[in-house]
């Protein structure tokens, strides 16, 4: 199992992205939470609220999910990272595999 993370600016966009990936069985689960971001963009310091999204899928779908997130993203330069957990409960890992194609 891997976790693909990105940030987005609107609740509605987060839900739409997660639901579209769930409907096509590209992820088994998607979560999002409100965060406060500070970053430098075009030589300016920006501080703003965002939503951090975590998408849970199997490793073989990584490239496909990253491509979908990149295509649907509204940011000029989205943060997209892939995390490999040190440990995942085997039953949860199997559930992710069983719910993705």
C-alpha dihedral sign at 80, 65, 5, 11: positive
Domain that holds residue 44: 2-98
pLDDT of residue 12: 97
One digit per residue, the tens of pLDDT, for the chain of length 101 reads 999 999 999 999 999 999 999 999 999 999 999 999 999 999 999 999 999 999 999 999 999 999 999 999 999 999 999 999 999 999 999 999 999 99
Task: Quote the CA–CA distance of 26 and 96 in Å, as a whole number.
Answer: 10
For the chain, the domain total comes to 1
**Which domain CATH number covers 12?**
3.30.70.120
- Which pLDDT value is given to residue 99? 97
pTM of this structure: 0.96
Give backbone dihedrals phi and psi of 50, rounded to 5 degrees, phi first. -145, 180
Between helix 62-72 and helix 11-23 the angle, nearest 10°, is: 140
């Amino acid at each position: 199992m891997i976790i693909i993370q990105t940030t987005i600016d609107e609740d509605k966009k987060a839900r739409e992205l997660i639901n579209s990936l769930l409907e096509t069985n590209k992820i088994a689960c998607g979560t999002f939470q409100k965060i406060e971001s500070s970053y430098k963009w075009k030589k300016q310091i920006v501080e703003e609220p965002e939503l951090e999204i975590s998408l849970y899928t199997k490793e073989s779908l990584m490239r496909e999910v990253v491509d979908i997130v990149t295509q649907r993203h509204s940011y000029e330069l989205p943060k997209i990272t892939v995390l490999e957990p040190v440990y995942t409960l085997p039953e949860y890992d199997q559930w992710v595999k069983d719910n993705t194609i």
